[in-house]
DNA sequence: TACAATTTTGCATAATATTGCAAAAATAAA
DNA sequence: TTTATTTTTGCAATATTATGCAAAATTGTA
């Protein structure tokens, strides 16, 4: 029996019952459990199934194409996304970088909005598929599978060529004395470029990111124009940031 | 017995049972397994079957030959895609532009391939999500919803910064006297840049595009190194292109 | 037809892939 | 925490595939 026939057997069984077990497959296909284990390993690397303890399961639906089902976003992100809409009403050109918060923002943009969005965030594209009035300018670079963003020198060089009204900054750590910091060097540098390219910078942050620090400095808080969190704007936990003169939404 | 007769026998058997074994074929056709192996090699390079350990399978039943969840790809595109794989074995860096044919090519790249892909084709990204050894360099620009590609001056400027071993050209019209032409101006200009950036250019084309002309000139056929269609390489409809000294797969 | 050049074929051998086993490591359960 | 179970890793035996080579067959040319 060919290896690929075993693969087909496994996938067929997975299709009908949604879960397969090493033990059963080993008996059905008359090979050792090790072989089944390796088969499943192979199939999982191809994304055709996901390994679980004792066997494998069908992969969860649509990994990349449609994240715009709002149920996928946490309440905190939805709150931030809705607050952000008021900033988008008065601008033409917006820079948006990485992070799922910005996906939530994009998902809540009204379908008839007229906007130009400059981004290195590839996950944004399918979300904006039906916004025919939204122009998307993609910033190229080395694609990062984990963050689904383009990064690198090339991305920064491209970003410098544009002028935007607003920069919506997604992922970063915020600290009242250390300012904004990023976990990835290239991402941190890119954020600096984005700030220069935009007339106004708004930082979007879950309250859990407040008073945290990452390794790479981006900027001080006085360079930020607006801070948007999931907290009420008068929440005490935001007091530390009020002296910097930024607008808190 | 002629080689062509063996081919026919193999393909016939493949059609009826979806799989063939070297051992059986060797006995049936009274030649050594080596000869069968070479025959299968040839048919595999012609995109008519996929080799597996011990024999070969028809591409449609091999779960690993295509990552085609949607069943979107036509037989012609699958043949072209499988033929194209032989070019990818010896290169490091490949430029791929727009068109669904190139999506089929990407979908048939083995999961363990090591490759660097330079592209303005955003639809390529989710297909290559599980190819951890494939680096993707995205070329930025104005995103076009219909073609799912980035276009414009910016895209061309970026493309000029790279050197590639191979350029796989997707959508274009081919004519024996008019050469290659494109339907969209920016796309045509970009194709010229891609050709300059790559050491070798291969044009992928459905046979229905042969002897058709679009409005924007790209280049003459003598600048093309390889032509890959869904037709057998000795098909009479390809004769018009043979004088240009390009390799026809 | 005869001869040279090319292609095809089968074989030996080296390289590679698959399989099952056993020990070590990691994970879940008590 | 300890214990039981599952998973990973390394290994050796076996099977398959790729490669170079020489003989045979085929093709083209005079």
**Topology (CATH) of B3-61:** Arc Repressor Mutant, subunit A (1.10.10)
Say what the pLDDT of residue B43 is: 92
A124-152 residue pLDDT tens: 999 998 899 999 999 999 999 989 999 99
The CATH number given to B75-248 is 3.40.50.10470
What whole-number distance in Å separates Cα of residue B240 and Cα of residue B96? 26
B134-181 residue pLDDT tens: 999 999 999 999 999 999 999 999 999 999 999 999 988 999 999 999
Q: Are B143 and A137 inside 8 Å of each other by CB?
A: yes
What whole-number distance in Å separates Cα of residue A207 and Cα of residue B42? 61
The CATH number given to A3-57 is 1.10.10
Mean pLDDT of B94-103: 94
Q: Are A63 and B129 inside 8 Å of each other by CB?
A: yes
CB B140 within 8 A of CB A137: yes
B40-73 residue pLDDT tens: 999 999 999 999 999 999 998 888 888 877 778 8
> Which residues, 6+ apart, have CB-to-CB distance to B64 below 8 Å?
A4, A7, A42, A46, B110, B111
- The band of A67, judged by pLDDT with boundaries at 50, 70 and 90, is very low
Mean of per-residue pLDDT scores for chain A: 90
B interface with A, Cβ–Cβ < 8 A, is 19, 52-55, 57, 61-64, 67, 111-112, 122, 125-126, 129-130, 132, 135-143, 145, 150, 154-155, 158, 161
Q: Are A143 and B161 inside 8 Å of each other by CB?
A: no
What is the nearest CA distance from B115 to chain A, expressed in angstroms? Answer: 13
The DSSP code for A121 is: B
> Which residues, 6+ apart, have CB-to-CB distance to B24 below 8 Å?
none
pLDDT of residue B195 exceeding 90, the answer is yes
pLDDT of residue B2 exceeding 80, the answer is no
Say what the pLDDT of residue A35 is: 93
A81-116 residue pLDDT tens: 999 999 999 899 999 998 889 999 999 999 999 999
CB B134 within 8 A of CB B110: no
- Closest nt by CA–C1' to A32: C20
What whole-number distance in Å separates Cα of residue B179 and Cα of residue B212? 9
What whole-number distance in Å separates Cα of residue A201 and Cα of residue A204? 10
- Measured in degrees and rounded to the nearest 5, phi and psi for residue A158 equal -65, -45
Strand C lies under 7 A from the Cβ of residue A3: yes
CB A103 within 8 A of CB A67: yes
What whole-number distance in Å separates Cα of residue A168 and Cα of residue A245? 18
The DSSP code for A139 is: -
Say what the pLDDT of residue A182 is: 93
A162-208 residue pLDDT tens: 999 999 999 889 999 999 999 999 999 999 999 999 999 999 999 98
Q: Where are the alpha helices (DSSP H) in chain A?
A: 3-17, 22-29, 33-45, 75-88, 100-107, 124-127, 153-159, 185-197
B99-129 residue pLDDT tens: 999 999 999 999 989 999 999 999 999 999 8
Say what the pLDDT of residue B141 is: 95
**Chain A residue with Cα closest to B127:** A64
- Closest nt by CA–C1' to B22: D16
CB B193 within 8 A of CB B156: yes
CA distance between the termini of chain A: 64
Residues in chain B: 249
- From the list A187, A110, A179, the residue with the least C-alpha distance to A147 is A187
Q: What is the CA radius of gyration of chain B?
A: 19
Say what the pLDDT of residue A61 is: 64
Give the rounded distance of the alpha carbon of A83 from its chain centre. 18
- CATH 3.40.50.10470 residue spans of chain A: 70-248
Q: Which two tokens stand for residue B177?
A: 């006297």
- The band of A68, judged by pLDDT with boundaries at 50, 70 and 90, is very low
Site from A136, A140, A142 to mutate, B interface, most B CB atoms within 10 angstroms: A140
Q: Which two tokens stand for residue B165?
A: 């071993």
A6-59 residue pLDDT tens: 999 999 999 888 899 998 899 889 999 899 999 999 999 988 899 999 899 988
Separation in Å: C23 C1' and A36 CA: 20
Convert A177-189 to b/e letters by CB count within 10 Å (16 or more is b). Answer: eebbbbebebbbb
What whole-number distance in Å separates Cα of residue B176 and Cα of residue A202? 56
- The band of A63, judged by pLDDT with boundaries at 50, 70 and 90, is very low
Mean pLDDT of B61-88: 88
Give the rounded distance of the alpha carbon of B126 from its chain centre. 19
pLDDT of residue B185 exceeding 90, the answer is yes
- CATH 1.10.10.10 residue spans of chain B: 3-61
CB B222 within 8 A of CB B244: yes
Strand partners, A246: none
Strand partners, A174: A180, A210
Percent of chain A with pLDDT over 70: 96
Query: Would you say domain A70-248 falls under CATH 3.30.230.10?
Result: no
CB B22 within 8 A of CB B33: yes
In the numeric block, the tokens 């869904």 are attached to B230
pLDDT of residue B226 exceeding 90, the answer is yes
Query: Helix (H) and strand (E) counts for chain A?
Result: 8, 15
Say what the pLDDT of residue A17 is: 87
CB B141 within 8 A of CB A140: yes
In the numeric block, the tokens 């122009």 are attached to A135
**Chain B residue with Cα closest to A137:** B142
Site from A1, A2, A159 to mutate, B interface, most B CB atoms within 10 angstroms: A2
Separation in Å: D27 C1' and B130 CA: 49
Nearest residue to C16 via alpha carbon and C1': B53
Strand C lies under 7 A from the Cβ of residue B3: yes
Say what the pLDDT of residue B115 is: 94
What is the nearest CA distance from B106 to chain A, expressed in angstroms? Answer: 13
Separation in Å: C18 C1' and B52 CA: 13
Say what the pLDDT of residue B90 is: 85
CB B80 within 8 A of CB B99: no
Q: Which two tokens stand for residue A113?
A: 């909005």
**Chain B residue with Cα closest to A130:** B145
pLDDT of residue A71 exceeding 70, the answer is no
- CATH 1.10.10 residue spans of chain A: 3-57
In Å, what is the CA distance from B10 to each residue of A97, B14, B79, B227?
54, 6, 17, 26
In Å, what is the CA distance from A174 to each residue of A151, A200, A205, A241?
21, 18, 8, 10
Say what the pLDDT of residue A65 is: 46
pLDDT of residue B244 exceeding 70, the answer is yes
């Amino acid at each position: 029996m060919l290896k690929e026939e075993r693969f087909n057997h496994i996938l067929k069984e997975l299709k009908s019952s949604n879960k397969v077990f090493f033990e059963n497959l080993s008996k059905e296909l008359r090979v050792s459990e090790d072989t089944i284990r390796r088969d499943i390993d192979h199939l999982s690397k191809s994304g055709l199934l996901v390994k679980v303890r004792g066997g494998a399961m069908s992969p969860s639906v649509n990994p990349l194409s449609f994240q715009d089902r709002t149920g996928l976003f946490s309440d905190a992100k939805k709150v931030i996304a809705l607050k952000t809409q008021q900033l988008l009403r008065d601008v033409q050109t917006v820079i948006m970088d990485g992070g799922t918060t910005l996906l939530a923002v994009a998902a809540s943009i009204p379908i008839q909005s007229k906007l130009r969005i400059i981004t290195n965030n590839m996950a944004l594209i399918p979300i904006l598929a039906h916004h025919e009035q939204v122009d998307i300018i993609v910033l190229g670079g080395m694609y990062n599978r984990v963050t689904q963003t383009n990064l690198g020198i090339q991305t920064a060089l491209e970003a410098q060529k544009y002028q935007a009204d607003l920069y919506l900054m997604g992922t970063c750590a915020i600290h009242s004395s250390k300012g904004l910091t990023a976990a990835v060097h290239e991402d941190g540098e890119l954020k600096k470029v984005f700030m220069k390219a935009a007339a106004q910078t708004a930082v979007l942050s879950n309250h859990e990111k407040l008073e945290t620090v990452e390794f790479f400095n981006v900027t001080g808080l006085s360079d930020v124009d607006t801070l948007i969190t999931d907290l009420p704007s008068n929440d005490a936990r935001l007091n530390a940031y009020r002296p910097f003169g930024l607008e808190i939404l």
